[in-house]
A and B are shown apart, each in its own frame.
Chain A
Amino acid sequence: MLDVTRLSVAYGQSEVLHSLSFATDKAEIVAVMGRNGMGKTTMMKSLMGILPSRSGSIRLEGTELGGLESHERVAHGLAFVPQGRMIFPTLTVEENIRTGMVVRKKSRIPDEIFALFPVLYDMRHRRGGNLSGGQQQQLAIARALVADPKVLLLDEPTEGIQPSIIKDMARVLKEIRSMMSLTIVVSEQVLSFAMDVADRFLVMENGEFVYEDVAENVDETKIAGFLSV
């Protein structure tokens, strides 16, 4: 599915991601763990084409995405839920969802979206900016899903969201994965949430992967060690 090889990203002269490589399978959920400032968001942004990469390749089902603009990557099947949600505050909930459909030229919001997130249906005429954090997160996921992605990138989805909703979100993500056989790459600091959803773990430290294992064999205390300050 998504094959990243020797990806390096730099801000000016200082390289922050050093030759990252990883690959995902179809319908796999991969968690990228790591403390603040270790490069998780930088990786997400460079995968999405928001930050340019210095070298390396990003392939999705064999198609090279490196060098393409963000919207072209979306057209090839990548979708993004950024840190802080970044919904469009003055657009209504329905309009926010529609922005994700532009690339597919669809005119009707699929019923599954509102089935997954009933609260969005109830609030479809409200402005996105007036939703709570958890609702905005659902909206951002809905906006990404209507673009029919093959790979969904989620950057710290639990940030600023109450614990009861975090549980809910883990369930929804797994539901989406099996429903759409979608590959999900999620960056995260909350270990319990990651243990809930992920099939495989990558731990990032200072722009490099320092630990990798599948969920069955994962050593929870070891990852917790990487996450503690």
Chain B
Amino acid sequence: MFDGYTASQLMSIFAMQGFAGLILFSVFLLMALGLAIIFGQMGVINMAHGEFMILGAYVTFLTSNFFQSNLPHFFGGYFFFAMAFAFLAAGALGYALEWVLIRHLYRRPLDTLLATWGVSMILQQVYRSVFGAREVGVVLPDWLMGSYQVTDMIDVPINGMFVMALTATITAAVFALMFRSTWGLQVRAVTQNRVMAGAAGINGKRVDRLTFALGCGIAGVAGSAFTMVGSTGPTAGQLYIVDTFLVVVFGGAQSLFGTIASAFAISQSQSTMEFFLSGSMAKVLTLLTVVGILLLRPQGLFVVKVRK
């Protein structure tokens, strides 16, 4: 499949596809972080996670429109407000959803699966009714447009670099929260042994609600980032949810490092192969590899080893 390319062309292709893969990696990672902490904490598989991301994307769209018509002077900075609003909106919806629905379904994993799937369809229809079935595009401020030319054959888009910086910041913040804060300590304790955490004085239900809200909030920020690399439509979240599950399972639930490594591996292999093969072929190969590795390592890439 490499026929007809010179060595230097191949280098540039790999570099640019690699960079495109990094942007995909950013969106996967932001999605997977939220999904993984929710799954780890509560054993709930949130099928509506993609719709929380799209909520963030629509909020970004609304914010950009608002700035364009009302505050054109500050349009360059709208994105930071959009991210904050996306986080708050998705987080608040997550908090409400946990309170109304999820908390009644604990210890019933199949029911939560169905219920959150239903929520995802409701949200899709809400988006369709409110924003229309057509995809909406978000106008980027000038400073995020264009690209940076590394060599005459390699271009890296500036918005891509911004998305990656954003992802790095959020990932670092999630790590700090999980491993340095009292909230993170409670999450990790409840994840390992809910009953004992309660008997040690931790309010598991409160931790659940905050965790669910935070996971959804991160998905909202992922949605903000997503507007720069894809177009926002009611069903766009569906395209990412399967890949995100793949990332979480492949990385080994409960290991944030595993999530990062597997998001990287999957996004890079998909992006690079997509250039040479068709998109669906790339997906088939990625899936086969993941399935093969999971057969050999059912617990995923990373597990924490301790005595039982």
Contact = CB atoms under 8 A, between A and B. Distances in A.
Interface of A: 48-50, 69-71, 74-75, 79-80, 82, 86, 88-91, 95, 98-100, 102-104, 127-130, 143-144, 147
A74 B192 contact: no
Contacts of B189: 88, 91, 99
Given A88-B188, A90-B304, A90-B306, A100 B200 contact: yes
The 9 closest A-B pairs by CB, nearest first: A129-B306, A103-B201, A74-B201, A70-B198, A86-B196, A80-B199, A89-B306, A99-B189, A88-B192
B307 A88 contact: no
Given A88-B193, A102-B182, A75 B201 contact: yes
Given A90-B306, A127-B306, A95 B185 contact: yes
B308 interface: yes
Given A91-B188, A95-B185, A147-B200, 10 more contacts: A69-B198, A70-B199, A70-B201, A74-B200, A79-B201, A86-B193, A91-B185, A99-B201, A102-B186, A102-B201
25 contacts: A49-B198, A70-B198, A71-B199, A74-B199, A80-B200, A82-B196, A86-B196, A88-B188, A88-B193, A88-B196, A89-B307, A91-B189, A95-B188, A99-B189, A99-B197, A100-B200, A100-B201, A102-B202, A103-B202, A129-B307, A129-B308, A130-B307, A143-B200, A144-B200, A147-B201
A71 B198 contact: yes
B284 interface: no
Contacts of B182: 98, 102
Contacts of A104: 201
Q: Which of A69, A75, A86 counts the most chain B CB atoms within 10 A?
A: A86
Nearest to B197: A99
A79 B308 CA distance: 24
Given A71-B204, A89-B192, A102-B185, A50 B306 contact: no
B199 A48 contact: yes
A95 B193 CA distance: 14
Nearest to A50: B195
Q: Is the interface of B mostly helix, strand, loop or mixed?
A: helix
Contacts of B231: none
B203 interface: yes
A50 B192 CA distance: 16
Contacts of B198: 49-50, 69-71
Contacts of A100: 200-201
Contacts of B188: 88, 90-91, 95
Contacts of B308: 89, 129
Contacts of B199: 48-50, 70-71, 74, 80, 82
A69 B307 CA distance: 30
Interface in B86-104: none
Nearest to A86: B196
A120 to B, nearest CB: 16
